[in-house]
Amino acid sequence: MNIINQLRAICPDRPLTDSEARSIAERQATQLLKLTSVDSPAVPSGIITELPRVAVDYTPGLASSGATMWTGGRWLIQLKAEDHPLRQRFSLAHELKHVIDHPYIDHLYQPDRYTSVAERAETICDYFAACLLMPRGWVKLAYGSGIQQPTELARLFGVSRQAILVRLTQLGLIEPAARCPGPLDPGDTPKVLRRYRRPAALAPAGAL
C-alpha cells in the first residue's frame, strides 16, 4: 500500500467532529513522519515532493497560497511562487492533507451553524500542516530544553514565527495572544488568502 493510501486508511469514512478530525490529522502527520523515517526537525519538504504521483509547481500569480488538482494521472500541488519559502513549506503540507482527504471530502467535514464545509476543511488542513512540521513531542522537548524564544523555535522547525506562536498556543505552552493586527513576519500570509479548491477532475478509484 502506498503512503497516501496508508494515511487515508487512518480516517473513518464518515462525518467527523472537530475533535475527531484534529486527532486523525495528528495521527496521519505522525504516521507520515514514521513512514519516511524523519525523527527530528526541520521536517524536509521532500517527504511530500518525492511521493509517487505527486508533482509540485511554483505558480506565479496564484490566487491563493496553494491549490491541488488531479491531472494527467497525478496530483498537482500548486504553490504561489511569490510567497516566502516558509509559507510555501506550510502550504505544501496543507495541500497534502487535501490530497489525503479527497475520497471523503463530500461528507468528512459537515457544515454547522457557523462554519462551512470549506472552512472546516481549511482549518483541519492547517492543523495537519502544524502537526507535520511542528510535531507535539518535538516542540515540547525543545521548549522544555530551554528553546523558548519564538524566533529560535521557528528557525529550528523551519516555519514562520507566527506559525510557531499558533502551535505553542495549541499545545498550551503559551497563552493565546490578544487578537490585534500587527506586522507579518517573513513567511506569514493573511488567513484570507487561504482558499480550498476542489480538484478539477475526480481521481479514479484506486488512484493516489
Q: What is the pLDDT along the chain (208 residues), one digit of tens a residue?
A: 799 999 999 999 999 999 999 999 999 999 999 999 999 999 999 999 999 999 999 999 999 999 999 999 999 999 999 999 999 999 999 999 999 999 998 899 988 888 898 999 999 999 999 999 999 999 999 999 999 999 999 999 999 999 999 999 999 999 987 554 444 444 544 333 333 344 444 444 345 5
> Same fold for the domain at 1-133 and the one at 135-179?
yes
Neighbours of 123 (CB within 10 A): 17
User: Three cell numbers at 199?
Assistant: 480538484
The per-residue pLDDT for range 51-70, each reduced to its tens digit, is: 999 999 999 999 999 999 99
- Check if the beta carbon of residue 83 is closer than 8 Å to that of residue 65: yes
Specify the pLDDT at position 178.
Answer: 57
Write down the pLDDT at residue 115.
Answer: 87
Place of cell 493565546: 176
Give the pLDDT confidence of 140-153 residue by residue, as tens digits: 999 999 999 999 99
Residue 24, C-alpha cell as written in the block:
486523525
Structure-block grid coordinates of residue 12: 473513518
**pLDDT value at residue 194:** 37
Parse the chain into domains and list their residue ranges. 1-133, 135-179
Mean of per-residue pLDDT scores for the chain: 88
pLDDT of residue 179: 54
Amino acid found at 206:
G
CA distance 206 to 208: 7
Return the ∠ at Cα 95 (arms to 138 and 201), rounded to 5°: 155
Pick the CATH number of 1-133 from 3.40.190.10, 2.40.10.120, 3.90.1150.10, 1.10.10.2910: 1.10.10.2910
Q: Report the distance separating Cα 56 and Cα 82, nearest Å.
A: 15
176 — alpha (psi -120 to 50), left (phi > 0) or beta?
beta
Partners of 54 in the beta sheet?
Answer: 75
Q: What is the pLDDT of residue 192?
A: 31
For residue 21, what is its C-alpha cell?
478530525
**Domain 135-179 fold:** Arc Repressor Mutant, subunit A (1.10.10)
Tell me whether the omega of the peptide bond preceding residue 55 falls within 30 degrees of 0, making it cis: no
Q: ∠ CA 204-207-208 to the nearest 5 degrees?
A: 130
Query: Is the Cβ–Cβ distance between 200 and 176 less than 8 Å?
Result: no
Q: Which three cell numbers stand for residue 120?
A: 472546516
